[in-house]
Structure 1
């Protein structure tokens, strides 16, 4: 066994790619599981005889668990070592997946999803830390591009995989599939990752934890309840958002006092990190928000099956795969401030096409727009992360990765809720069909009838006046178009912080605070 310091060569050697493989496996499980479950919600309603609001907690519970555990990751990585913690997170996520498959009530499933989220929440920040330390400053762009593949393809592959597994087997398999992947990832991690050398333990910030983790969970609970209630005035929305927001603000004011805070906001004094964080947050609101509505348009307006809707999203993933390796290579050589704006132009162009959607918009146009958008996304997300982490010292990487993941989680949740509320509010303005009510006695709108018929054509016989369905379908398409305008506007807003991304090449390597001392962790060759 020999050791070689990483960073001596600009090329990604086998030892570094071996580590990247471990991280990508974990990221695939964590990210795919979010989107796979999203397509299974109607199935859960039938299987557990539950309402949509109840089964939606299988998503919300997972999100809240992520928000609770992510702040602890930076401290725990320093205290226990990244290899041990990463393997523990893999084990917890895999066990949670197995338990989800055994659930015989919606309450059990939600509880097991929370357990799964506690493991999944650590996988992404730990993966970013491991890869950043392994690559060295001169190769971080290319290595982060590898991690970006599951981050961009997850929302595309999830609906395809979920729809296929539910069609050929049962909902249990969307969780059982994680068991062999998790077992392989654990064995792979034990073999590929170097032995931990944890640094001296820092004191744990209990007071910070009591403010930040519950604060994030409460705030995201309120945000997640917004689509269900449709109003900021609902107690279920504003009360937890206010309480959570006050706790987070209290943490921010407090965090500059202790020597080792739970989340080190002092890192934001690094201009690259702060500018990249703002750019990433605005981008994630648009990407995670409107991005989740693309398959919904194909399902609700065009009447496609879950599997076909997922396949129609494939051009976006293909576009990302084309540009992501190129963007990763360029991020190591050219300042991201010179490349990211061009990628954002492509994303904006793709979004604009979706602002024009109707009931019969050409699939060729929409798939072409998704491909162009994918080209832009491949050149946006990972270069921004590269800019954020590239100038951090070895000791700061775990904390910086944790900070970025918290911002992504908050921005993604806010974006999803924002777009869902806008779409729902538009659909609620649809005229009601005189004399037609649902089983609860509530009036049925023209838009609601159109969506129901698109998803189940057999219901069309209940509405003999086809003009009603056509009007409803056009109303739904216009509602999607209006919502996509908001996504387009948010992408345009992203140009503002992106303008401040570094335009000059950063020469400073990762250091531990000693001039000229390389911070990259040696990769042990087995």
Structure 2
């Protein structure tokens, strides 16, 4: 039975509120914990190299359960799946704060990863089913909040909590957000049942979860352990083989866990090619810039986080601008402009490594966030306009799989390049230029996106809405 106050909560508001809160916690958790690792190591008597399991356990669990999210949403309904994942993530956060050993903390982080792996795809599925095509760009003004703010806020908030309180608070900070989101969701979160999931695809689960987990583990650990070590080569190659074998299996089986045929939609496929290089470049910059500021300019963790934070404001600005420009300019031009702008700003950051100046750094990060936000908001909206509601779970699962791999690849690429070059200044410049080239690749790929298909989808949705209004009135 739902609480009485739930009748006053709009279903669309409930979906937005739960999705934003849940996604914010899941994304921020990937960055906020890094700041606390030295303090955790001191408490448990473990050096920094021995703390990798804290993050790797979370990422591997995240990778295993992202592919399952679509099946669970279709089988049990999005409301039940989302609230269960939110509860699991919140409880696991509290348990992490009480951990008395590294082994216990790693186990609780795995539980967090299970919840986090379900939250983003199921939340995005609810958003797509709650909002018709014509309203999704407006909804993205709120949906972009966790993507924009969480990665940049994590280091700032984490550094402040560790310095003023203790490392336990980087996990406790999730509790009020999680509890409020749960109460809000119980009050008004609607259910969006899918087409059903008659049978669990065990081979698909093993191939998708195992392959994604192995690849993400290798990409995360490679910069520290070396790409040539057997502990990296074996999971990287094995994971790639699993993911390659997943494609023919999922296309052949009657009840696939992830229906890869959704990628036959031309607009979805072309936009999915644009997002990975941009995501890799963006996460690479967010990793690289604090390393430069702390290693070469002697910034502390808090001030390097503050120097990075303007990118979040830039992304939020872009989320407000895109709905106003979308119809007049078209998503293709917005994506090309965003990718080109991001490449240009990253080149500026490469120049600033030789002559760094705070007055140039802060506006550069703001413009980088605005450029990336322009591309992200346009591409994510265009990706789903021709996807029917019954297939949104498969589409959002694929989107989140590529997002995780792209982010891990971007960080691994940045860390590897900076470690492989002899001089620090040259290493940062070469790495920034490489990341800028990824953004230019996204520009070229964005030229294939069809504005005509987007307009036709909007027109079809508008005609369907008018027909529904006529039916109701008659």
TM-score by length of 2: 0.92
Note the C-alpha offset of 1:86.
0.3
Cα distance in 2 for residues equivalent to 1:276 and 1:306: 35
Give yes or no for contact 1:357–1:480 (8 Å, CA) kept in 2.
Answer: no
Moved over 4 A (4+): 195-199, 509-512, 515-520
2:389 equivalent to 1:394 = yes
Could you report, residue by residue, the CA deviation over 1:88-118 in whole angstroms, capped at 9, with x for unpaired residues? 0001101110111111222221111111010
DSSP-derived class of the 2:443 partner: helix
Q: Identify which of 203, 210, 228 aligns with 1:233.
A: 228
Match of 1:508 in 2: 457
1:56 aligns with 2:44: no
Q: Find the partner of 2:73 among 77, 88, 92.
A: 77
Structure 2 unpaired stretches of 5+: 1-8, 469-474
Of Structure 1 and Structure 2, which has the larger fraction of its residues in helix? Answer: 2
- Report the Cα distance in structure 2 between the residues aligned to 1:316 and 1:78, rounded to whole angstroms: 36
CA–CA separation in structure 1 for the residues paired with 2:370 and 2:174: 29
- TM (norm. structure 1) is 0.83
Residues 267 and 383, structure 2, Cα contact 8 Å, conserved in 1? yes
Do the aligned partners of 1:132 and 1:397 also contact (CA within 8 Å) in 2? yes
Q: Which residue of 2 aligns with 1:119?
A: 115
1:172 CA drift (Å): 0.1
Contact 2:11 2:189 in 1 (8 A): no
Question: Aligned runs of 1:33-432 on 2, under 5 Å?
Answer: 33-195=29-191, 197=193, 199-230=195-226, 232-331=227-326, 334-358=329-353, 361-426=356-421, 429=422
Instruction: Note closer, same or farther for the CA distance 1:154–1:407 as it changes in structure 2 (3 Å cut).
Output: same
| Match of residue 21 from structure 1 | 17
Contact residue 69 and residue 121 of structure 1 kept, 8 A: yes
Aligned: 1:486 with 2:434 = yes
Alpha-carbon displacement from aligned partner over 1:172-200 (angstroms, at most 9, x marks no partner): 00001111211111001111212454544
The 1:183–1:213 alpha-carbon spacing in structure 2 relative to 1, beyond 3 Å, is same
Residue pair 1:222, 1:240 contacting (<8 A) in 2 also: yes
Deviation, structure 1 residue 353: 1.0
Q: Which residue of 1 aligns with 2:471?
A: none
CA distance in 1 between counterparts of 2:213 and 2:384 reads 26
- For the pair shown, which has the larger CA radius of gyration, 1 or 2? 1
Q: Secondary structure at the match of 1:292?
A: helix
Q: Is the 8 A contact 2:74 2:193 kept in 1?
A: no
2 CA distance for matches of 1:510 and 1:16? 22
Q: CA offsets per residue over residues 128-186 of structure 1, 9 Å max, x none? A: 11111111111112213321121121111111110111111000000011112111110
Question: RMSD over aligned Cα, in angstroms?
Answer: 2.2
The alignment partner of 2:302 has SS state of: helix
Distance apart, 1:304 and its partner CA: 1.1
Report how far residue 493 of structure 1 moved. 1.3
**Deviations 1:426-474, CA, capped at 9 Å, x for gaps:** 2xx3xxxxxxxxxxxxxxxxxxxxxxxxxxxxxxxxxxxxxxxxxxxxx
Instruction: Give CA-to-partner distance per residue, 1:206-248, whole Å, 9 cap, x none.
Output: 1111211111111222222211122x32101111111111111
Q: Does structure 2 retain, via aligned residues, the 8 Å contact 1:83–1:195?
A: yes
CA contact (8 A) 1:275 1:500 kept: yes
> How many equivalent residue pairs?
458
